[in-house]
Structure 1
Amino acid sequence: MLRPSFSSTLLASFLSIVAILGAAAVSGWLDLESFARDSRRSAAALLELNSDMQQLAERTVDFERGARQYLVHEEISFLERSNGARAEALAALARIETQLADAAPLASRWREQAAAADAAVAGDTTAIPLELRSRTAATALAELARLNDGLAQTVRTHIIDSNGKSLDTLDQRREQLTWQILGALALSVVLAALTGWWLLRPLRHIERSISDLGENRLNQAIRIGGPADLRRVGKQLDWLRVRLSELEANRNRVLRHVSHELKTPLASLREGVSLLADGVLGRLTPEQQEVTAILEHNTRALQERIEQLLHYNAIQFDSRRLDLQPSALLPMVREVASELQLQAQARGVAIDIVGDAPLVRADPGKLRIALSNLIANAVGFSPTGSKVRVELSAQDEKVLIDCIDDGPGIRPEESERIFEPFFQGSHPDERTSKGTGIGLAIVREFIAAHHGKVSALPVERGAHFRVELPHAT
């Protein structure tokens, strides 16, 4: 099945959105051009109609004036002027009638009255008395004036209606254009949202998969959908997951084998040293007893180191498996202090707990182990009669746990190395009870698993450790 790449999908989406918006813009531009063309044509027609109406009115006045002058003076020039004005008026009337169908009845009556006036003016002067001709012509000419008023009103009404229709058309085109633009924008948003979903969903999956790899959650296969190149990235991540699983399994297997291979001869060595120390093979001289004691001490220390290494490896693996839930720190710290009370009393050290803090999202069991190691480390290094102070507080979106003791302190150059496994600083002998050297390393592992951090702050006397954890909200 052919699947587009991330870049081609993004480009196709961009071009589709441009095409949609461009089509809406071109359609709106064509509608605007069509409306402008129709408006210009309509305006020209209305202007011509208004001009013809004005010419009709002027030529009617000329026709009337020429007719009256001919009836008075009976000079042929007046009659010719009257006939010319009538002909121009009839031409203007014909144009009005062509453009305005509603003017046809009035135009027909105008022609009838114009013909009657012309007949009265140019009729036989011997057969029809002048007075009768004058009255007939005056009546016909007066009717022409009234008909002109009617035609002018019809033209004005037509112009008003035409302008109203133009405005209605404009509103209709504007509404149509608005809906086209809104439709184009909505379609573009939908297309952009679908493209974003198509592209961002696998990216979020990749992000979660990388986080799982970082958290050592390697038991679930990684399958990424979406574009072809992102699917290839998913296959590479799954290959990396398999490789990390193999490396983790090999590491654990090597540790088990090494511990077994070391413990077996070490047990034999300790057994032999014990036999020597017990005098089974004969009484030892004082020098031999001293050497035997050194051998017994070192073999015991070596066995403890092997067990510590295995224990720390198990702690590292277990620190990533958290059962997070809202947890109150103050009761937890009090419980830890109560559990360490016998150790503190044996050292003559008091544990003071002050302050309070908001809830944190934590695995109570693992956070209790981290706090226990932190406070136990402070108690172990504190001199007799001193105090270990545990302060709880909040700062911005973080919860702070400060553990302060009056012990020998930490050298500035060792403030980071102190959290390394089996590193005990430059003055481990100042501690009455020897430690394993992994307590603070366990604290850092568990606190980091909770998305927090632990650090050693510089102080003039003693040691000051600060744990920072995010709020539960």
Structure 2
Amino acid sequence: MPIKLSFRVLSLIAFLLIAALLSAASVLALLTLNRLAEHSRETGNDAIALTANAQRVAERSVAMERSARQFLVLDDPAFLERFGEAWRDALTALDAMAAELPGGEPPAFADWRRNGQAAREALDMPASHRGAAQLRLDAALAQLPAINSELTHHVQAEVDRRNAAITEELETRRNVLRGQLALSIALAAVLSIAFGVWLARPLRQIESAIGQLGGNRYDVPIDITGPDDLRRMGRHLDWLRQRLADLEADKARFLRHISHELKTPLAALVEGVALLEDEVVGPLAPKQHEITGILRQNTASLQNQIEDLLRYNAASFDAQHLLREPVDMAALLRRVVDSQRLQYEARSLVIMVEGGAPVIAADSAKLAIVASNLLSNAVRFSPEGGTVRFIVAAGNGMLRVDCIDQGPGVAPADAQRVFEPFYQGERQPPGARRGNGIGLSIVREYVTAHGGTLQLLPSSPGAHFRLELPYEN
């Protein structure tokens, strides 16, 4: 059975892997630094020991010379004993130095031992041969300062060599650590990016699926890949999609049925009212004429509302099916304006289409409905003799259409809800029949279907609507 890992578990695994990688690099660097520190400490101690032994040999050489000369003058065995102690101590230091020098001891070590032995042998000569002993002693001790200088030179060379070696090793280790650190950071970055991309993909799919549901796109199945919990969420979203699709189908079916059921008796009412107004069944009194007028007005209003309801339902469905073709937006606006000439001329309005834009690929029929609804809304709210302006422009891959009128505008309280279906604002034109609030909703449905946006911009006086549609340069 395959192991199912959730988003949280995978995120934790990714974090632990990256943390382990960086921790390993840090531990390795710490161990390397500890080794270097220990090596440096040992080298320093060895250098101190070598220098101390060289100084000790030089000091013992002076003590040997002083004790030997005192013995020859005073003939006191104590001075001979002091010479022996200094000589043995110098030999011990000499052996310690020789052990620390690589490649065998230099000839100077043998020279020092030979001259020291010669000085000892001169002191062991009988008292009757003091003159010869003095000469041999002077010859042996005279060479020790030069030999001591040479020994010091060898020691200093060895110390310098060891310092150079530790410096070279430090530089080598630093380069290795730099490479290891760079590799660790690169691997951590690669792991972070890989896990981020892999884990972000199902999140983008979920975001797209939610946007799809919000856009009433119920015909595309939702399939989320990735961790187990996100796949399970995808299955829930797909169930929600199917449920919403069923509800949408039920709503459309209900609207079709109820409109059909209402239109038949409503037609009978309209016909009956018409017969009464024509006095087919006999003359009507003035009060009866007034009642039939009220009946005619309300049946007409009811009939318009049913037709608007069906039109909004059809627009919600049609918005999902675009028939794109080359569209010149400025020319389309002029055609729409010309088609409503009677309405706006009856109120002495001036309709202006300004600017221009490149041809875009869009559904001309739906954009014509968008323009028609914006124009009808502006004409309805504009005062007698007012002006309505359509301004067409393009830039940065967006085609922009501004519709500006001189009416009362949209109340601040209505600005957030003006695009909701069946919502009517508080500022209505005096004496006009109240609308049903679906015109701007249909405009938004069609604009959103084209991937565009519809906004209400601040304007005083009047209303300023701006729609933007993307296009390819």
Q: Specify the TM-score bucket, using the shorter chain as the normaliser.
A: 0.7 to 0.9
Report sequence identity in percent.
Answer: 38
Aligned to 1:90: 91
Q: 1:179 to 1:441 in 2, by over 3 A?
A: closer
Q: 1:437 to 1:220 in 2, by over 3 A?
A: closer
Q: 1:470 to 1:131 in 2, by over 3 A?
A: farther
Residue 115 of structure 1 aligns with an amino acid whose one-letter code is: Q
Aligned to 1:401: 402
* Mapped partners of 1:187, 1:167: distance in 2: 30
Residue 64 of structure 1 aligns with an amino acid whose one-letter code is: E
Aligned to 1:114: 116
Within 5 Å, which residues of 2 pair with 1:56-205? Answer: 56-101=57-102, 102-103=104-105, 105-126=107-128, 130-205=130-205
* Mapped partners of 2:181, 2:58: distance in 1: 49
Q: Deviations over 1:255-298 (max 9, x none)?
A: 2222333334445666677778889xx76334599577776666
Q: 1:465 to 1:319 in 2, by over 3 A?
A: farther
Q: 1:429 to 1:177 in 2, by over 3 A?
A: closer
* Mapped partners of 1:411, 1:74: distance in 2: 129
Please report how far the alpha carbon of residue 353 of structure 1 lies from its aligned counterpart in structure 2 after TM superposition: 4.4
Please report how far the alpha carbon of residue 205 of structure 1 lies from its aligned counterpart in structure 2 after TM superposition: 0.7
* Mapped partners of 1:84, 1:417: distance in 2: 110
1:305 aligns with 2:305: yes
Within 5 Å, which residues of 2 pair with 1:428-467? Answer: 430-431=431-432, 438-447=438-447, 452-455=453-456, 463-467=462-466
2:405 is paired with a residue whose SS is strand
* Mapped partners of 1:410, 1:50: distance in 2: 96
* Mapped partners of 1:31, 1:106: distance in 2: 39
Please report how far the alpha carbon of residue 81 of structure 1 lies from its aligned counterpart in structure 2 after TM superposition: 2.6
Maintained 8 Å contact 2:392/2:399: no
* Mapped partners of 1:426, 1:173: distance in 2: 80
Aligned to 1:284: 282
Q: Number of residue pairs matched?
A: 465
Q: 1:412 to 1:395 in 2, by over 3 A?
A: farther
> Bigger shift: 322-331 or 81-90?
322-331
Maintained 8 Å contact 2:374/2:403: no
2:388 is paired with a residue whose SS is strand
Residue 405 of structure 1 aligns with an amino acid whose one-letter code is: Q
* Mapped partners of 1:466, 1:166: distance in 2: 77
1:405 is paired with a residue whose SS is coil
Q: 1:311 to 1:139 in 2, by over 3 A?
A: same
Please report how far the alpha carbon of residue 455 of structure 1 lies from its aligned counterpart in structure 2 after TM superposition: 3.8
Maintained 8 Å contact 1:359/1:471: no
Maintained 8 Å contact 2:447/2:469: no
> Bigger shift: 418-427 or 255-264?
418-427
Within 5 Å, which residues of 2 pair with 1:193-272? Answer: 193-267=193-267
1:194 is paired with a residue whose SS is helix
Within 5 Å, which residues of 2 pair with 1:370-385? Answer: 370-382=370-382, 385=385
> Bigger shift: 139-148 or 422-431?
422-431
2:222 is paired with a residue whose SS is coil
Maintained 8 Å contact 1:103/1:154: no
Maintained 8 Å contact 1:360/1:472: yes
* Mapped partners of 2:111, 2:326: distance in 1: 99
* Mapped partners of 2:130, 2:361: distance in 1: 121
* Mapped partners of 1:104, 1:357: distance in 2: 96
Q: Deviations over 1:128-155 (max 9, x none)?
A: x544433333222223322222211111
TM-score (norm 1): 0.82
Residue 123 of structure 1 aligns with an amino acid whose one-letter code is: M
> Bigger shift: 88-97 or 67-76?
67-76
* Mapped partners of 2:263, 2:296: distance in 1: 15
Please report how far the alpha carbon of residue 106 of structure 1 lies from its aligned counterpart in structure 2 after TM superposition: 2.5
1:103 is paired with a residue whose SS is coil
TM-score (norm 2): 0.82
Aligned to 2:56: 55
* Mapped partners of 1:93, 1:438: distance in 2: 109
Residue 77 of structure 1 aligns with an amino acid whose one-letter code is: A
Q: 1:361 to 1:15 in 2, by over 3 A?
A: farther
Maintained 8 Å contact 1:113/1:141: yes
CA root-mean-square deviation: 4.1
Residue 315 of structure 1 aligns with an amino acid whose one-letter code is: A
Q: 1:59 to 1:358 in 2, by over 3 A?
A: farther
Residue 137 of structure 2 aligns with an amino acid whose one-letter code is: A
Within 5 Å, which residues of 2 pair with 1:329-408? Answer: 333-353=333-353, 365-382=365-382, 385-390=385-390, 401-405=402-406
Q: Deviations over 1:199-256 (max 9, x none)?
A: 2111111001000000011111111122221111111101100101111111112222
Q: 1:415 to 1:95 in 2, by over 3 A?
A: closer
Maintained 8 Å contact 1:324/1:361: yes
* Mapped partners of 2:258, 2:452: distance in 1: 33
Please report how far the alpha carbon of residue 82 of structure 1 lies from its aligned counterpart in structure 2 after TM superposition: 2.2
1:388 is paired with a residue whose SS is strand
Maintained 8 Å contact 2:357/2:399: no
2:217 is paired with a residue whose SS is coil
Q: 1:135 to 1:340 in 2, by over 3 A?
A: farther
Q: 1:162 to 1:117 in 2, by over 3 A?
A: same
2:223 is paired with a residue whose SS is coil
Q: 1:357 to 1:404 in 2, by over 3 A?
A: farther
Q: 1:17 to 1:415 in 2, by over 3 A?
A: closer
